[in-house]
A = this chain, B = another copy of it.
């Protein structure tokens, strides 16, 4: 059987595949920090060369930001698009890492072998599972089972400023029968998943300015308005006592999930106590009366991702600072309109800033939530293929994170997105000591071979 031959090839080639992933992980492609622009470029070059070695006519496509990698290889079956991103999150606080985040290593842990390093799970390890499945297929058969267009982004971790203009300009090239996206997770170690609900994201940075310069808190304290005090009042006002978000109109377009979906989620046996217990918490912090799974999959949120102002070094400094800033993000669901909410948020903040102070806003991305139709037969074929590889059957699930690309495929390239990934909750993506399980990488690669086979047979 040809699929088995491909799966065997994947097993035999695992060490070499890991070597290739390590090479990609060593490139510190942090897209949000301009200091790493050359490294983002180097990661794109690496992927172009790797795809070319498979026979893909890959090339680096310039954008006003970091380049896209694109390329197509012909094949007999349906036309599939594959999306992943080669950029990674910043690594600070660096002192909480147990090793250099860009000197990756295979580590033995009590839970199994892991690949440790920034980007191991998000998203370099994930995107390489698909490329490695293609490589094995090509090695065994000399061709791929279908036509595949690769589309790899370098700005996913920094709000994707170039993505929509680029996709609009290349909408024809990106149009396919199905868009495979590998940037999500398993439901758990036994249950693979196709993600069909994604939260949207609205990012805002606000800076409050009080006095025109830093002051001595002895000389001016009491008389001069402190911008940290203003900022704290704004942040404190964003949630009410029941955990609801107070931005006017915030819940417009937030749907209740159907009884059917609620029943399916209840059947997953999600262990909220363990989910929170793994990170030292015990009580769900969201709206009262909602389950933890609702809080992360189907309810919107407001989080402060960073705050700064005044003196934060060692010791004490009695400064009354001129400025204080916060980075705030909203996760959106259903039909919440990010642009309307941005305006509503800004209006609410402006109304809380005293006459003496000023506020500046800086937007960081605005994407709607995605809710994807799974009625096409390809979904059931892929779900079966995943179920064949993993211990338990695959599930359709929600995801708390934001993957705006999924909506863009639908809206710009008129192509249905299918989100399959092999990450785990404890991968520590965006955090120190990020890892990707060796099992995720190995069985992920095998899963893609099965999915390619299933989609080709389903279409044929």
Q: Is the CB of B222 within 8 A of A317?
A: no
Q: Is the CB of B217 within 8 A of A313?
A: no
Q: Is the CB of A355 within 8 A of B223?
A: no
* Interface presence of A275 (CB below 8 A): yes
Contact A399 B218, CB 8 Å, known A232-B232, A315-B364: yes
Q: Is the CB of B158 within 8 A of A315?
A: yes
Out of B159, B221, B432, which one reaches A303, CB within 8 Å? B221
A327→B228 CA distance, assembly (Å): 11
Q: Which residues of B contact A425 (CB under 8 A)?
A: 219
Q: Which residues of B contact A276 (CB under 8 A)?
A: 223-224
Least CB distance, A318 to chain B, in whole angstroms: 6
* Interface presence of A361 (CB below 8 A): no
* Interface presence of A246 (CB below 8 A): no
* Interface presence of A338 (CB below 8 A): no
Out of B239, B281, B292, B325, which one reaches A356, CB within 8 Å? B281
A284→B318 CA distance, assembly (Å): 19
Interface residues on A, range: 35 or more
* Interface presence of A29 (CB below 8 A): no
- By beta carbon, the residue of chain B nearest A354 is B283
Contact A327 B316, CB 8 Å, known A306-B310, A311-B306: yes
* Interface presence of A373 (CB below 8 A): no
Copies of this chain per assembly: 2
Q: Is the CB of A33 within 8 A of B365?
A: no
Q: Is the CB of B428 within 8 A of A331?
A: no
Q: Is the CB of A304 within 8 A of B310?
A: yes
Q: Determine which residue in A232, A301, A356 has the highest number of CB atoms from chain B within 10 A of its CB, and name it.
A: A232
Q: Is the CB of A305 within 8 A of B311?
A: yes
> Looking at the complex, which of A197-205, A257-265, A379-387 is the stretch in contact with chain B?
A197-205
A324→B308 CA distance, assembly (Å): 10
Q: Which residues of B contact A331 (CB under 8 A)?
A: 217-218, 221-222
Least CB distance, A348 to chain B, in whole angstroms: 15
Q: Is the CB of A365 within 8 A of B222?
A: no
Least CB distance, A262 to chain B, in whole angstroms: 17
Q: Determine which residue in A281, A283, A296, A321 has the highest number of CB atoms from chain B within 10 A of its CB, and name it.
A: A281
Least CB distance, A148 to chain B, in whole angstroms: 28
- By beta carbon, the residue of chain B nearest A159 is B316
Write the A351-395 contact mask toward B (1 if CB under 8 angstroms, else 0): 000111000000011000000000000000000000000000000
Q: Is the CB of A225 within 8 A of B314?
A: no
- By beta carbon, the residue of chain B nearest A280 is B212
Contact A355 B214, CB 8 Å, known A305-B317, A307-B308, A315-B364: no
Instruction: Please name 24 pairs of A and B residues whose Cβ atoms are closer than 8 Å in the assembled complex, sorted by A.
Output: A90-B313, A96-B213, A203-B318, A216-B401, A217-B305, A217-B331, A218-B399, A218-B401, A219-B429, A221-B303, A222-B299, A223-B286, A223-B292, A224-B285, A228-B307, A229-B303, A303-B318, A305-B318, A305-B319, A305-B321, A306-B309, A306-B319, A316-B327, A316-B329
> What 5 A-B pairs come out closest when comparing CB atoms?
A218-B401, A32-B315, A212-B280, A306-B310, A232-B235
What would 15 more interface pairs be, CB under 8 Å, given A157-B317, A218-B400?
A: A33-B315, A159-B315, A201-B218, A210-B280, A211-B280, A213-B279, A218-B331, A219-B400, A222-B286, A225-B285, A228-B326, A229-B235, A285-B356, A307-B324, A317-B327
